[in-house]
Structures are given as C-alpha cells and as structure tokens.
C-alpha cells in the first residue's frame, strides 16, 4: 500500500487536531533529527555501533522526522501536497532540472 501525503496529513490531524502544540512538535522533530544524526555518525564511524541494524534504525528515525514535520503542517492546515509541487516547480526551474516532480509523476503513471 502506498502512503499518500494527504492521507498521512489527515490521519495526523485526526490524531493531534486542536490538541497539537506546534512548538512541542517542533521540539520532537528536532529530537528525531538528532536521532537520525546519531545513526549517520555511527555509519560514518564517528560513533560506536551497538550491533543493531543501522539501516532499520535509520528508516525508523526518518519516519519519526516525517511524522512530526507532517503533523506540524496538519495542525496548521497547510496543504503539503500543493506546496511540495509548487516548491519543486520553482527548484526545477532554478536548478535547470530536466523535469519537475509533477511531470515525473505524470510520466510514471502513464
């Protein structure tokens, strides 16, 4: 099953809704980013490895980062889908990409 960003956003809005505090969520986001940094440091040999599966840990921590980033958008009624497409369009122009995300999606659907 593919996870659509809109569904994740609606799901997290249902979970946090008006009880969500963006500053608290932002602190959690930063904390999770720190956990990603720790794993990347382990992979780079800058920190001791405890024998756990770093690939699985990295995946889980990245999911945590996405969780809080999308939750902050959800409680602020930000349409991430729209902004992802718009921002990518600008970046694709700025950095002279062959195609933008919207074009990529259209091409891969056909």
* Cβ closest to Mg ion, residue 65 vs residue 85: 65
Tell which one of 11, 20, 26, 35 touches Mg ion (CB under 5 A).
35
Q: Which of 11, 22, 28, 64 binds Mg ion (CB under 5 A)?
A: 64
Q: Are 66 and 83 in contact (CB under 8 A)?
A: no
CA 30, 31, 35, 38 dihedral sign is positive
Residue 31 and residue 29: Cα distance in Å, rounded?
A: 5
Query: Does position 38 bind Mg ion by CB under 5 A?
Result: no
Separation between Cα atoms, residue 71 and residue 66, nearest integer Å:
8
Nearest to 66 by CA among 8, 14, 21, 105: 8
Number of residues that bind Mg ion (CB under 5 A): 4
CA gap 101, 94 in Å, rounded: 14
Only one of the segments 25-33, 39-47, 78-86, 101-109 lies at the binding site for Mg ion (rule: CB under 5 A); that segment is 25-33
**Interacting positions 42-61 with Mg ion (CB under 5 A):** 61
- Candidates 21-29, 64-72, 82-90, 99-107: pick the segment binding Mg ion (CB under 5 A): 64-72
Q: Would you tell me which residues interact with Mg ion (CB under 5 A)?
A: 32, 35, 61, 64
């Amino acid at each position: 099953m593919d996870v659509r960003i809109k569904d994740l956003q609606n799901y997290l809005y249902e979970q946090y809704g008006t009880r969500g505090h963006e500053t608290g969520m932002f602190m959690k986001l930063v904390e999770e980013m720190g956990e990603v940094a720790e794993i990347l440091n382990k992979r780079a040999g800058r920190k001791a490895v405890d024998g756990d599966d770093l690939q699985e840990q990295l995946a889980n921590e990245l999911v945590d980062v996405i969780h809080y980033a999308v939750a902050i958008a959800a409680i602020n009624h930000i349409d991430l889908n729209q902004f992802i497409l718009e921002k990518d369009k600008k970046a694709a122009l700025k950095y002279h990409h062959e195609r933008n995300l919207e074009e990529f999606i259209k091409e891969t659907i056909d």
